[in-house]
Amino acid sequence: MTAVAEPATGLTERPTETATATLRRGLRMMPEFRRGLPATFALALLATAGRVVVPIAVQQTLDRGLGAAGGPDIPLVRELVAVCALVVLVTAVAVYRMNVRLFRTTETALANLRVRAFRHVHDLSVLHQQGERRGNLVSRVTSDVDQLSVFMQWGGVLGLVSLGQLVVATVVMAVYSWQLTLLVLVCFIPLGFAVKWFAKRLAAVYGVVRERVGDVLAAVGESVVGAPTVRAYGIRGRTAARIDAAIDRHYRASVQAQKTTAGVYVSGEFVAAVANAAVVVVGVLLGIGGQISAGTLIAFLFLVTLFVAPVQTASEVLNEAQNAVAGFRRVLDVLDTEPDVQDPVDGRALPEGPLGVRFSHVVFRYAPGARPALDDVDLEIAPRTRVAVVGETGSGKTTFAKLLTRLMDPSSGRVLVGGVPLAEIAFASLRERVVMVPQDGFLFDASVADNVRYGKPGMTDAHVAAAFDELGLGDWVEGLTDGVATAVGQRGESLSAGERQLVAVARAYVADPDLLVLDEATSAVDPATEARLTRALDTLTSGRTTITIAHRLSTAERADEVLVVDAGRVVQRGTHAELVDAPGVYAGLHASWRRSSGAARTPA
């Protein structure tokens, strides 16, 4: 096993990474976000300036216009009001333009991030995909991204605005009294530490919240997908309890997060009060010592409030950032998980013509240290042969098929198809020439025809109908309400189980592979239809290599060669005729199957 360190586990996770590291990592992945950023920044600065200037301008109008020494200076008031109105309007326009730009850039960047994460989930190996609950994977390309957009659209700008206000307020304060300014700054130092501490706690609680969201989705999803089981076993109460427990855990985590944020605010408020009190006390003492005037102190008290507000906003932004970062991290974790089964760089194409297969001392374990699901499998399958793989439940047949189609890579040993090591074959070539029909064939919520041409887009309905005819299923399709245009429902649930398998087989058939792997592909189809279908397939795929896994040993009887798998090892191989009378696993399996399918052989 080469690149696969921990095959059965989920995504790369970096719970300890700092928020800034996450943000930096993320921004690197979103080049679109940086495009046009200077102009947005310029607007943000304008907006910031406006937002800082407006309160001061209003204050000045009051102070200098109305509170002027020689009585109210009405013309000055008018002028100032006009100027203020202009500033307010310009600010509003700047904010509007900035908002629009921000929405456009962030949404563009996030849409692209979403799509990349989506693609990446598909690039992960089946084991990684299974290691993660579907609800969780979905949330990583939906709500976790949304979380980010919330923050990017207001948090970043707000932080910037606050910073601007802070700088302006500090400068103005320093102009009035450097001593008191120093005092205020000293008072706020502890808040810096508090915010840092809170940020760490918040990162943790928000991480928990995001995880709980995944739990809720998983619990709900299970009850929806498993609805028939829930009903049949009358476990509505239990299922509801499981869901409610998940909802409750999410609720409690959210409240915990809320408490923590309240803590941030409380400490901010407290520090502000302390600063105020300190300014009063020290200011008075300084005043008595003649260092500052009463006017300065009074003005300063007003300025302190201008200083406090942005500090609180900024700390709030920092905290909100933790929430967004928790979501961001989950998205990035997807992107950072190296697919353990990778499309090789400069991959080779499979040679033309029928494909043979070679397993060279292949061992596969689902988890490091676990019992191998396949153990030292070493065999060769000649091109153009029809091979049946048989064996008890859990013996490793599906595992064999997945290694053969490179859904997983062996833990050790290697697999060659057409003489080329699988790991060197370009996916484009591999997936076109080697197709597997998995044990649980999945249909999309579309028409029968859409599902069939999934691997060969561009086929017309008529082609699809013709394909069914070739497979001997024409009558069946015509019997459907709308023929090949019949909708199959979500997961294909508007078809019967056997019908779903017919569509899945047709889908693989029209993909026209040179190596076809059928894993219990017709297990739910009635024997008569199955017999007809396999006969048709045998003819249609003659000259290609087919590997069929089946519990119905009729497949083995017809096959050119039978591979018998037992407890992860290939214990027998040969033709049916050779194996059926030889002592061994196959004889046992076959006898049992024969008994079951022919026990009541009753000539009419």
Partner 1 sequence: MPPRSTSPAPAPAPEQVTTPTPENAPPSAVPAGRTRTGDVTVRSEREQKKVVRRGFRHVAKAVREQPGMFTLAVLGSSLYGAMTVASAYVIGGITERLVLPSFERGSVTAGALWLATLAILGVAVLKIVGIIGRRLFAGIMSFRLQAEYRRRVTGQYLRLPLSWHQRHPTGQLLSNANSDVEASWFFVAPLPFACGAIVMVVITVVALFLTDPLLAVVGLVVFPLVFLANAVYSQVMSPRMARAQQLRAEVSEIAHESFDAALVVKTLGREAAETERFGVRADELRDGLVAVGRVRGLFDPMMEALPNLGTLAVLLVGADQVATGSTNAGDLVSIAYLFTLLALPIRAIGWVLADLPRALAGYDRVAPVLAAEGETPHGPDAAAGGPTGAGVGVRAVDFGHTDADGRTNRVLHGVTFDVEAGRTVAVVGPTGSGKSTLAGLLVRLVDPHSGEVLLDGVDVRSLREGEVSTQAAFVAQGTFLFDDTVRGNITLGADIGDDEVHAALRVAAAEDFVDRLPEGLDTRVGERGASLSGGQRQRLALARAVVRRPRLLVMDDATSAVDPSVEARILDALRSTDQPATVVVVAYRQATISLADEVVWIDRGRLVARGSHAELLAQVPGYARLVQAYQPPDAVTAAEPEPAGAQA
Closest distance of CB 105 from ligand ATP, Å: 41
Cβ pair 573, 561 in contact under 8 A: yes
Q: Is 498 in the site for ligand ATP (CB under 6 A)?
A: yes
Q: Is 8 in the site for ligand ATP (CB under 6 A)?
A: yes
Of residues 472-501, which lie at the interface with Mg ion (CB under 5 A)?
A: 496-497
Q: Is 493 in the site for ligand ATP (CB under 6 A)?
A: yes
Q: Is 156 in the site for ligand ATP (CB under 6 A)?
A: no
Tokens of 327: 């979501």
Closest distance of CB 393 from ligand ATP, Å: 4
Of 506, 501, 437, 446, the C-alpha closest to 471 is 506
Q: Which is nearer to ligand ATP, 354 or 498 (CB)?
A: 498
Q: CA 428 from chain center: how many Å?
A: 24
Indicate the residue whose CB is closest to ligand ATP. Answer: 498
Give the Cα separation of 485 and 466 in Å (integer): 14
Q: Which is nearer to Mg ion, 334 or 373 (CB)?
A: 373
Q: Is 393 in the site for ligand ATP (CB under 6 A)?
A: yes
Q: Supply the angle between the helices 294-336 and 236-288 in degrees, to the nearest 10.
A: 150
Q: Which is nearer to partner 1, 24 or 259 (CB)?
A: 259
Q: Which is nearer to ligand ATP, 460 or 592 (CB)?
A: 592
Contact partners, residue 355, CB within 8 Å, separation at least 6: 383, 417, 418, 433, 434, 514, 515, 544, 545
Tokens of 571: 């214990």
Closest distance of CB 138 from ligand ATP, Å: 20
Cβ pair 493, 487 in contact under 8 A: no
Among 159, 164, 327, 396, binds ligand ATP (CB under 6 A): 396
Cβ pair 406, 413 in contact under 8 A: no
Q: Which is nearer to ligand ATP, 239 or 399 (CB)?
A: 399
Cβ pair 516, 546 in contact under 8 A: yes
Cβ pair 517, 547 in contact under 8 A: yes
Which one of the spans 52-60, 74-82, 331-339, 486-494 is the region binding ligand ATP (CB under 6 A)?
486-494
Using alpha carbons only, how large is the chain's radius of gyration in Å? 35
Tokens of 310: 């942005």
Of 565, 562, 564, the C-alpha closest to 395 is 565
Among 26, 159, 310, 391, binds ligand ATP (CB under 6 A): 391
What is the residue-wise DSSP string for 558-602?
Answer: H-SEEEEEETTEEEEEE-HHHHHTSSSHHHHHHHHHHHHHHTT--
Closest distance of CB 397 from Mg ion, Å: 5
Instruction: Tell me the per-residue interface mask from 350 to 379 with ligand ATP, x by CB under 6 A, - otherwise.
Output: ----------------x------x------
- Return the residue matching tokens 């060197």: 424
Which one of the spans 106-114, 236-244, 386-394, 466-474 is the region binding ligand ATP (CB under 6 A)?
386-394
Sign (positive/negative) of CA torsion 24, 26, 27, 28?
Answer: positive
Cβ pair 156, 48 in contact under 8 A: no
Closest distance of CB 604 from partner 1, Å: 5
Closest distance of CB 483 from partner 1, Å: 13
Q: Which is nearer to Mg ion, 284 or 497 (CB)?
A: 497
Give the Cα separation of 381 and 360 in Å (integer): 12
Closest distance of CB 196 from partner 1, Å: 18
Q: Which is nearer to partner 1, 139 or 541 (CB)?
A: 139
Give the Cα separation of 281 and 146 in Å (integer): 48
Q: Is 130 in the site for ligand ATP (CB under 6 A)?
A: yes
Of residues 358-417, which lie at the interface with Mg ion (CB under 5 A)?
A: 398
Instruction: Tell me the per-residue interface mask from 431 to 460 with ligand ATP, x by CB under 6 A, - otherwise.
Output: --------x---------------------
Closest distance of CB 437 from Mg ion, Å: 12
Closest distance of CB 494 from ligand ATP, Å: 4
Closest distance of CB 226 from ligand ATP, Å: 16
- E strands within 403-540? 412-417, 420-421, 434-437, 515-519
Footprint on this chain of Mg ion (rule: CB under 5 A): 398, 496-497
